[in-house]
Structure 1
Protein backbone atom coordinates (compact mmCIF):
# COMPACT_ATOMS: atom_id res chain seq x y z
CA UNK A 1 0.00 0.00 0.00
CA UNK A 2 1.27 3.46 -0.87
CA UNK A 3 2.33 5.41 2.26
CA UNK A 4 -0.23 7.94 3.42
CA UNK A 5 -0.11 11.23 5.26
CA UNK A 6 -2.40 10.76 8.25
CA UNK A 7 -3.82 13.43 10.55
CA UNK A 8 -4.82 12.35 14.06
CA UNK A 9 -7.07 14.95 15.68
CA UNK A 10 -9.31 14.98 18.71
CA UNK A 11 -10.01 16.55 22.06
CA UNK A 12 -7.58 16.71 24.96
CA UNK A 13 -6.87 13.31 26.59
CA UNK A 14 -8.62 11.42 23.78
CA UNK A 15 -5.53 9.33 22.99
CA UNK A 16 -4.06 11.19 19.99
CA UNK A 17 -0.41 10.75 20.98
CA UNK A 18 -0.83 7.12 22.01
CA UNK A 19 -2.58 6.25 18.77
CA UNK A 20 -0.02 8.09 16.63
CA UNK A 21 2.91 6.33 18.29
CA UNK A 22 1.17 2.94 18.18
CA UNK A 23 0.43 3.31 14.47
CA UNK A 24 4.05 4.26 13.77
CA UNK A 25 5.27 1.24 15.74
CA UNK A 26 2.88 -1.10 13.89
CA UNK A 27 4.04 0.24 10.53
CA UNK A 28 7.71 -0.06 11.45
CA UNK A 29 7.13 -3.65 12.55
CA UNK A 30 5.76 -4.31 9.06
CA UNK A 31 8.89 -2.95 7.43
CA UNK A 32 7.36 0.43 6.55
CA UNK A 33 9.10 3.76 7.03
CA UNK A 34 7.02 6.01 9.28
CA UNK A 35 7.58 9.44 10.81
CA UNK A 36 5.65 11.29 13.52
CA UNK A 37 4.92 15.02 13.58
CA UNK A 38 4.77 15.87 17.27
CA UNK A 39 1.93 17.88 18.83
CA UNK A 40 3.32 21.43 18.89
CA UNK A 41 0.41 22.78 20.95
CA UNK A 42 0.82 20.04 23.55
CA UNK A 43 4.55 20.67 23.77
CA UNK A 44 3.87 24.38 24.22
CA UNK A 45 1.50 23.69 27.13
CA UNK A 46 4.02 21.42 28.82
CA UNK A 47 6.89 23.87 28.36
CA UNK A 48 5.07 27.06 29.40
CA UNK A 49 2.63 25.57 31.91
CA UNK A 50 -0.20 27.82 30.80
CA UNK A 51 -2.76 28.37 28.06
CA UNK A 52 -1.41 30.27 25.03
CA UNK A 53 -2.79 33.77 24.69
CA UNK A 54 -4.93 34.68 21.72
CA UNK A 55 -2.11 36.35 19.82
CA UNK A 56 0.12 33.26 20.35
CA UNK A 57 -2.25 30.78 18.73
CA UNK A 58 -1.40 31.45 15.08
CA UNK A 59 2.34 31.00 15.60
CA UNK A 60 1.70 27.61 17.21
CA UNK A 61 -0.56 26.52 14.35
CA UNK A 62 1.97 27.73 11.78
CA UNK A 63 4.81 25.86 13.48
CA UNK A 64 2.72 22.66 13.34
CA UNK A 65 2.13 23.20 9.61
CA UNK A 66 5.76 24.06 8.88
CA UNK A 67 7.05 20.98 10.71
CA UNK A 68 4.67 18.79 8.74
CA UNK A 69 5.70 20.32 5.43
CA UNK A 70 9.39 19.88 6.25
CA UNK A 71 8.89 16.17 6.96
CA UNK A 72 6.80 15.75 3.81
CA UNK A 73 9.71 17.07 1.75
CA UNK A 74 12.34 15.16 3.72
CA UNK A 75 10.67 11.74 3.47
CA UNK A 76 8.22 11.79 0.54
CA UNK A 77 8.01 7.99 0.33
CA UNK A 78 7.32 7.39 4.03
CA UNK A 79 4.20 7.27 6.15
CA UNK A 80 3.67 10.61 7.90
CA UNK A 81 1.58 10.55 11.08
CA UNK A 82 0.63 13.92 12.58
CA UNK A 83 -0.18 13.99 16.28
CA UNK A 84 -2.61 16.93 15.96
CA UNK A 85 -2.73 19.50 13.18
CA UNK A 86 -3.33 23.26 13.01
CA UNK A 87 -7.04 22.45 13.06
CA UNK A 88 -6.76 21.42 16.72
CA UNK A 89 -5.28 24.81 17.57
CA UNK A 90 -7.98 26.56 15.55
CA UNK A 91 -10.76 24.77 17.43
CA UNK A 92 -9.26 25.57 20.83
CA UNK A 93 -8.82 29.17 19.76
CA UNK A 94 -12.53 29.32 19.00
CA UNK A 95 -13.47 27.69 22.30
CA UNK A 96 -11.15 29.81 24.44
CA UNK A 97 -11.30 33.18 22.68
CA UNK A 98 -14.28 32.97 20.31
CA UNK A 99 -11.67 33.48 17.58
CA UNK A 100 -12.34 31.74 14.27
CA UNK A 101 -9.55 33.47 12.34
CA UNK A 102 -7.29 30.38 12.31
CA UNK A 103 -9.73 28.19 10.39
CA UNK A 104 -8.85 29.27 6.82
CA UNK A 105 -5.16 28.51 7.30
CA UNK A 106 -5.81 25.32 9.29
CA UNK A 107 -8.30 23.85 6.83
CA UNK A 108 -6.21 24.76 3.79
CA UNK A 109 -3.30 22.90 5.38
CA UNK A 110 -5.55 19.98 6.33
CA UNK A 111 -6.29 19.33 2.70
CA UNK A 112 -2.75 17.95 2.37
CA UNK A 113 -3.58 14.82 4.39
CA UNK A 114 -4.83 11.65 2.75
CA UNK A 115 -6.69 10.41 5.83
CA UNK A 116 -8.03 12.09 8.96
CA UNK A 117 -8.59 10.03 12.11
CA UNK A 118 -10.73 11.59 14.85
CA UNK A 119 -10.13 10.03 18.27
CA UNK A 120 -13.40 9.08 19.99
CA UNK A 121 -14.27 10.18 23.52
CA UNK A 122 -14.60 6.69 24.98
CA UNK A 123 -11.30 6.68 26.87
CA UNK A 124 -11.15 7.46 30.59
CA UNK A 125 -9.77 10.93 31.21
CA UNK A 126 -6.03 11.04 31.79
CA UNK A 127 -4.69 13.94 33.84
CA UNK A 128 -1.74 15.68 32.23
CA UNK A 129 -0.86 17.91 35.15
CA UNK A 130 -2.42 21.02 33.65
CA UNK A 131 -6.13 20.16 33.93
CA UNK A 132 -6.89 22.22 30.82
CA UNK A 133 -10.31 20.95 29.80
CA UNK A 134 -13.47 19.40 31.22
CA UNK A 135 -15.54 16.58 29.69
CA UNK A 136 -18.03 19.20 28.52
CA UNK A 137 -15.28 21.07 26.68
CA UNK A 138 -14.07 17.81 25.15
CA UNK A 139 -17.53 17.10 23.78
CA UNK A 140 -17.77 20.65 22.47
CA UNK A 141 -14.38 20.26 20.80
CA UNK A 142 -15.43 16.97 19.24
CA UNK A 143 -18.50 18.61 17.72
CA UNK A 144 -16.59 21.64 16.41
CA UNK A 145 -13.80 19.63 14.79
CA UNK A 146 -16.29 17.40 13.02
CA UNK A 147 -18.32 20.40 11.87
CA UNK A 148 -15.19 22.06 10.48
CA UNK A 149 -14.23 18.93 8.57
CA UNK A 150 -17.78 18.39 7.32
CA UNK A 151 -18.25 21.95 6.11
CA UNK A 152 -14.92 21.79 4.27
CA UNK A 153 -15.76 18.49 2.60
CA UNK A 154 -12.88 16.68 4.33
CA UNK A 155 -13.60 13.01 4.97
CA UNK A 156 -12.68 11.54 8.33
CA UNK A 157 -12.91 8.32 10.31
CA UNK A 158 -13.72 8.11 14.02
CA UNK A 159 -11.60 5.63 16.02
CA UNK A 160 -12.95 4.02 19.18
CA UNK A 161 -11.78 1.26 21.51
CA UNK A 162 -9.10 0.91 24.15
CA UNK A 163 -5.58 -0.45 23.84
CA UNK A 164 -5.02 -2.98 21.07
CA UNK A 165 -8.65 -2.71 19.99
CA UNK A 166 -8.23 1.02 19.30
CA UNK A 167 -5.05 0.39 17.31
CA UNK A 168 -6.73 -2.37 15.30
CA UNK A 169 -9.67 -0.09 14.47
CA UNK A 170 -7.26 2.63 13.31
CA UNK A 171 -5.33 0.18 11.11
CA UNK A 172 -8.59 -1.00 9.56
CA UNK A 173 -9.66 2.62 8.98
CA UNK A 174 -6.40 3.11 7.05
CA UNK A 175 -7.18 0.12 4.88
CA UNK A 176 -4.55 -2.07 6.55
CA UNK A 177 -4.86 -5.46 8.16
CA UNK A 178 -5.23 -5.33 11.92
CA UNK A 179 -2.51 -6.68 14.20
CA UNK A 180 -5.07 -9.21 15.42
CA UNK A 181 -6.68 -11.43 12.77
CA UNK A 182 -9.52 -12.33 15.14
CA UNK A 183 -10.40 -8.64 15.59
CA UNK A 184 -10.66 -8.12 11.86
CA UNK A 185 -12.86 -11.19 11.44
CA UNK A 186 -15.22 -10.03 14.19
CA UNK A 187 -15.50 -6.61 12.59
CA UNK A 188 -16.09 -7.96 9.09
CA UNK A 189 -18.69 -10.46 10.29
CA UNK A 190 -20.43 -7.85 12.41
CA UNK A 191 -20.57 -5.37 9.54
CA UNK A 192 -22.00 -8.07 7.27
CA UNK A 193 -24.67 -8.81 9.85
CA UNK A 194 -25.77 -5.21 10.19
CA UNK A 195 -25.87 -4.81 6.42
CA UNK A 196 -28.25 -7.78 6.33
CA UNK A 197 -30.33 -6.25 9.11
CA UNK A 198 -29.57 -9.04 11.55
CA UNK A 199 -27.69 -7.19 14.26
CA UNK A 200 -27.12 -3.81 15.88
CA UNK A 201 -23.75 -2.20 15.33
CA UNK A 202 -21.80 -0.56 18.15
CA UNK A 203 -19.79 2.49 17.12
CA UNK A 204 -16.90 1.61 19.40
CA UNK A 205 -16.50 -1.69 17.51
CA UNK A 206 -16.35 -0.08 14.11
CA UNK A 207 -14.39 2.94 12.80
CA UNK A 208 -16.08 2.30 9.46
CA UNK A 209 -15.57 5.44 7.31
CA UNK A 210 -19.20 5.50 6.19
CA UNK A 211 -20.79 4.82 9.57
CA UNK A 212 -20.66 7.50 12.28
CA UNK A 213 -19.36 9.99 9.72
CA UNK A 214 -22.59 9.59 7.77
CA UNK A 215 -24.74 9.80 10.90
CA UNK A 216 -23.04 13.02 11.96
CA UNK A 217 -23.50 14.50 8.48
CA UNK A 218 -27.22 13.77 8.62
CA UNK A 219 -27.45 15.39 12.06
CA UNK A 220 -25.85 18.58 10.73
CA UNK A 221 -28.26 18.65 7.79
CA UNK A 222 -31.24 18.23 10.12
CA UNK A 223 -30.05 21.13 12.28
CA UNK A 224 -29.53 23.33 9.22
CA UNK A 225 -33.06 22.51 7.96
CA UNK A 226 -34.57 23.22 11.37
CA UNK A 227 -32.83 26.61 11.64
CA UNK A 228 -33.97 27.63 8.15
Structure 2
Protein backbone atom coordinates (compact mmCIF):
# COMPACT_ATOMS: atom_id res chain seq x y z
CA UNK A 1 0.00 0.00 0.00
CA UNK A 2 1.26 3.48 -0.85
CA UNK A 3 2.26 5.46 2.28
CA UNK A 4 -0.26 8.08 3.36
CA UNK A 5 -0.17 11.43 5.10
CA UNK A 6 -2.47 11.12 8.09
CA UNK A 7 -3.87 13.86 10.31
CA UNK A 8 -5.06 12.90 13.79
CA UNK A 9 -7.43 15.52 15.20
CA UNK A 10 -10.07 15.63 17.91
CA UNK A 11 -11.10 17.10 21.23
CA UNK A 12 -8.79 17.18 24.22
CA UNK A 13 -8.12 13.97 26.16
CA UNK A 14 -9.21 11.71 23.31
CA UNK A 15 -5.86 10.00 22.78
CA UNK A 16 -4.48 11.84 19.75
CA UNK A 17 -0.86 11.59 20.88
CA UNK A 18 -1.17 7.98 21.96
CA UNK A 19 -2.82 6.96 18.70
CA UNK A 20 -0.22 8.77 16.59
CA UNK A 21 2.64 7.08 18.39
CA UNK A 22 0.92 3.67 18.42
CA UNK A 23 0.31 3.84 14.67
CA UNK A 24 3.92 4.85 14.12
CA UNK A 25 5.09 1.89 16.19
CA UNK A 26 3.02 -0.59 14.21
CA UNK A 27 4.08 0.82 10.84
CA UNK A 28 7.76 0.76 11.81
CA UNK A 29 7.39 -2.81 13.04
CA UNK A 30 6.06 -3.62 9.57
CA UNK A 31 9.16 -2.15 7.96
CA UNK A 32 7.70 1.23 6.99
CA UNK A 33 9.47 4.58 7.26
CA UNK A 34 7.47 7.04 9.37
CA UNK A 35 7.73 10.76 10.11
CA UNK A 36 5.67 11.92 13.10
CA UNK A 37 4.67 15.49 13.88
CA UNK A 38 4.24 16.52 17.52
CA UNK A 39 1.71 19.03 18.83
CA UNK A 40 3.21 22.53 18.74
CA UNK A 41 0.71 23.95 21.23
CA UNK A 42 1.93 21.62 23.99
CA UNK A 43 5.50 22.75 23.45
CA UNK A 44 4.41 26.40 23.35
CA UNK A 45 2.51 26.14 26.66
CA UNK A 46 5.42 24.36 28.32
CA UNK A 47 7.79 27.15 27.32
CA UNK A 48 5.46 30.06 28.10
CA UNK A 49 3.87 28.60 31.24
CA UNK A 50 0.45 29.71 30.03
CA UNK A 51 -2.06 29.25 27.24
CA UNK A 52 -1.83 31.51 24.18
CA UNK A 53 -3.87 34.67 23.71
CA UNK A 54 -5.95 35.49 20.66
CA UNK A 55 -3.21 37.33 18.79
CA UNK A 56 -0.81 34.40 19.24
CA UNK A 57 -3.02 31.75 17.69
CA UNK A 58 -2.07 32.25 14.04
CA UNK A 59 1.65 31.93 14.73
CA UNK A 60 1.04 28.63 16.52
CA UNK A 61 -1.09 27.36 13.63
CA UNK A 62 1.64 28.31 11.15
CA UNK A 63 4.29 26.56 13.25
CA UNK A 64 2.12 23.43 13.36
CA UNK A 65 1.83 23.47 9.58
CA UNK A 66 5.56 24.02 9.18
CA UNK A 67 6.31 21.08 11.48
CA UNK A 68 4.57 18.81 8.99
CA UNK A 69 7.25 19.66 6.43
CA UNK A 70 10.17 17.28 7.18
CA UNK A 71 13.65 18.75 7.02
CA UNK A 72 15.70 17.46 4.13
CA UNK A 73 14.25 15.21 1.48
CA UNK A 74 12.24 12.34 3.01
CA UNK A 75 12.11 8.99 1.28
CA UNK A 76 9.18 8.71 -1.13
CA UNK A 77 7.79 5.74 0.82
CA UNK A 78 7.60 7.58 4.17
CA UNK A 79 4.34 7.77 6.11
CA UNK A 80 3.47 11.16 7.65
CA UNK A 81 1.53 11.01 10.93
CA UNK A 82 0.56 14.34 12.42
CA UNK A 83 -0.55 14.60 16.04
CA UNK A 84 -3.03 17.47 15.54
CA UNK A 85 -3.02 20.12 12.79
CA UNK A 86 -3.74 23.86 12.48
CA UNK A 87 -7.43 22.92 12.33
CA UNK A 88 -7.41 22.38 16.07
CA UNK A 89 -5.93 25.84 16.64
CA UNK A 90 -8.66 27.31 14.46
CA UNK A 91 -11.36 25.45 16.39
CA UNK A 92 -10.10 26.66 19.75
CA UNK A 93 -9.76 30.20 18.42
CA UNK A 94 -13.43 30.12 17.48
CA UNK A 95 -14.47 28.51 20.75
CA UNK A 96 -12.43 30.69 23.10
CA UNK A 97 -12.14 33.99 21.23
CA UNK A 98 -15.04 33.90 18.75
CA UNK A 99 -12.38 34.25 16.04
CA UNK A 100 -12.92 32.32 12.82
CA UNK A 101 -10.10 33.98 10.88
CA UNK A 102 -7.78 30.95 11.10
CA UNK A 103 -10.07 28.59 9.21
CA UNK A 104 -8.98 29.42 5.63
CA UNK A 105 -5.33 28.72 6.41
CA UNK A 106 -6.12 25.70 8.59
CA UNK A 107 -8.44 24.04 6.10
CA UNK A 108 -6.06 24.66 3.20
CA UNK A 109 -3.42 22.79 5.18
CA UNK A 110 -5.87 20.05 6.17
CA UNK A 111 -6.61 19.38 2.53
CA UNK A 112 -2.99 18.32 2.02
CA UNK A 113 -3.50 15.12 4.04
CA UNK A 114 -4.64 11.89 2.43
CA UNK A 115 -6.86 11.01 5.37
CA UNK A 116 -8.11 12.61 8.57
CA UNK A 117 -8.77 10.54 11.68
CA UNK A 118 -11.01 12.11 14.33
CA UNK A 119 -10.57 10.63 17.79
CA UNK A 120 -13.92 9.80 19.41
CA UNK A 121 -15.19 10.95 22.80
CA UNK A 122 -15.43 7.48 24.33
CA UNK A 123 -12.27 7.84 26.45
CA UNK A 124 -12.51 9.37 29.95
CA UNK A 125 -11.30 12.94 30.36
CA UNK A 126 -7.96 13.26 32.17
CA UNK A 127 -6.51 16.53 33.48
CA UNK A 128 -3.23 17.72 31.96
CA UNK A 129 -2.31 21.07 33.47
CA UNK A 130 -2.56 24.02 31.10
CA UNK A 131 -3.30 21.80 28.13
CA UNK A 132 -6.89 20.93 29.01
CA UNK A 133 -9.86 23.08 29.98
CA UNK A 134 -12.24 20.41 31.22
CA UNK A 135 -14.63 17.71 30.03
CA UNK A 136 -17.31 20.29 29.27
CA UNK A 137 -15.45 21.54 26.16
CA UNK A 138 -15.02 18.16 24.49
CA UNK A 139 -18.49 18.01 22.96
CA UNK A 140 -18.38 21.54 21.48
CA UNK A 141 -14.85 20.99 20.14
CA UNK A 142 -15.81 17.68 18.55
CA UNK A 143 -18.80 19.36 16.91
CA UNK A 144 -16.73 22.26 15.55
CA UNK A 145 -14.09 19.90 14.13
CA UNK A 146 -16.67 17.84 12.28
CA UNK A 147 -18.55 20.91 11.05
CA UNK A 148 -15.37 22.45 9.65
CA UNK A 149 -14.43 19.27 7.82
CA UNK A 150 -17.94 18.76 6.46
CA UNK A 151 -18.26 22.38 5.28
CA UNK A 152 -15.07 21.91 3.29
CA UNK A 153 -16.17 18.59 1.88
CA UNK A 154 -13.28 16.73 3.51
CA UNK A 155 -13.83 13.08 4.32
CA UNK A 156 -12.85 11.87 7.77
CA UNK A 157 -13.17 8.74 9.86
CA UNK A 158 -13.91 8.64 13.56
CA UNK A 159 -11.86 6.22 15.65
CA UNK A 160 -13.39 4.66 18.76
CA UNK A 161 -12.26 1.97 21.17
CA UNK A 162 -9.82 1.53 24.04
CA UNK A 163 -6.16 0.55 23.86
CA UNK A 164 -5.48 -2.14 21.23
CA UNK A 165 -9.08 -1.91 20.01
CA UNK A 166 -8.69 1.77 19.21
CA UNK A 167 -5.40 1.10 17.45
CA UNK A 168 -6.89 -1.70 15.37
CA UNK A 169 -9.84 0.48 14.38
CA UNK A 170 -7.42 3.18 13.23
CA UNK A 171 -5.40 0.68 11.20
CA UNK A 172 -8.57 -0.54 9.50
CA UNK A 173 -9.58 3.08 8.80
CA UNK A 174 -6.27 3.51 7.00
CA UNK A 175 -6.94 0.44 4.89
CA UNK A 176 -4.36 -1.64 6.76
CA UNK A 177 -4.66 -5.00 8.44
CA UNK A 178 -5.21 -4.92 12.17
CA UNK A 179 -2.76 -6.57 14.51
CA UNK A 180 -3.24 -10.29 15.02
CA UNK A 181 -2.55 -11.93 18.37
CA UNK A 182 1.08 -12.68 17.50
CA UNK A 183 1.86 -9.15 16.34
CA UNK A 184 0.12 -7.67 19.34
CA UNK A 185 2.15 -9.93 21.66
CA UNK A 186 5.41 -8.77 20.10
CA UNK A 187 4.43 -5.10 20.47
CA UNK A 188 3.31 -5.64 24.05
CA UNK A 189 6.65 -7.25 24.89
CA UNK A 190 8.30 -4.14 23.48
CA UNK A 191 6.16 -1.98 25.72
CA UNK A 192 7.05 -4.15 28.71
CA UNK A 193 10.74 -3.67 27.92
CA UNK A 194 10.17 0.08 27.95
CA UNK A 195 8.90 -0.14 31.52
CA UNK A 196 12.03 -2.03 32.52
CA UNK A 197 14.04 1.00 31.52
CA UNK A 198 15.66 -0.35 28.37
CA UNK A 199 14.28 2.49 26.27
CA UNK A 200 12.45 5.78 26.71
CA UNK A 201 8.67 5.92 26.91
CA UNK A 202 7.23 8.02 24.06
CA UNK A 203 3.52 8.29 24.85
CA UNK A 204 3.50 12.12 24.93
CA UNK A 205 1.18 12.26 27.92
CA UNK A 206 -1.28 9.64 26.72
CA UNK A 207 -4.85 10.48 27.67
CA UNK A 208 -6.02 6.86 27.90
CA UNK A 209 -5.80 5.64 31.52
CA UNK A 210 -6.14 2.05 30.30
CA UNK A 211 -3.18 2.30 27.93
CA UNK A 212 -0.55 -0.40 27.77
CA UNK A 213 2.06 1.71 29.58
CA UNK A 214 -0.02 1.70 32.76
CA UNK A 215 -1.11 -1.90 32.33
CA UNK A 216 2.42 -3.19 32.00
CA UNK A 217 3.70 -0.96 34.80
CA UNK A 218 1.16 -2.61 37.07
CA UNK A 219 2.20 -6.03 35.76
CA UNK A 220 5.85 -5.26 36.49
CA UNK A 221 4.98 -4.25 40.06
CA UNK A 222 2.99 -7.45 40.56
CA UNK A 223 5.93 -9.55 39.37
CA UNK A 224 8.25 -7.81 41.85
CA UNK A 225 6.08 -8.90 44.80
CA UNK A 226 7.55 -12.06 46.39
TM-score by length of 1: 0.76
Show the counterpart of 2:143: 143
Q: How does 1:6-21 map to 2 (within 5 A)?
A: 6-21=6-21
Show the counterpart of 1:104: 104
Aligned residues of 1:41 and 1:60 also touching (Cα < 8 A): yes
> 1:67 deviation in Å?
1.4
Aligned residues of 1:93 and 1:100 also touching (Cα < 8 A): yes
> 1:71 deviation in Å?
5.3
> 1:74 deviation in Å?
3.2
* Number of equivalences: 182
Question: What are the ranges of 5 or more consecutive residues in structure 2 without an aligned counterpart?
Answer: 183-226
Show the counterpart of 2:31: 31
> 1:41 deviation in Å?
1.2
Q: How does 1:113-152 map to 2 (within 5 A)?
A: 113-130=113-130, 132-152=132-152
TM-score by length of 2: 0.77
Aligned residues of 2:24 and 2:34 also touching (Cα < 8 A): yes
Question: What are the ranges of 5 or more consecutive residues in structure 1 without an aligned counterpart?
Answer: 183-228
Distance in 2 (alpha carbons) for counterparts of 1:159 and 1:71: 30
Aligned residues of 2:9 and 2:116 also touching (Cα < 8 A): yes
> 1:125 deviation in Å?
1.3
Show the counterpart of 2:85: 85
Aligned residues of 1:72 and 1:80 also touching (Cα < 8 A): no
Q: CA RMSD in A?
A: 1.7
Distance in 1 (alpha carbons) for counterparts of 2:20 and 2:130: 22
More off after superposition, 39-48 vs 104-113 = 39-48
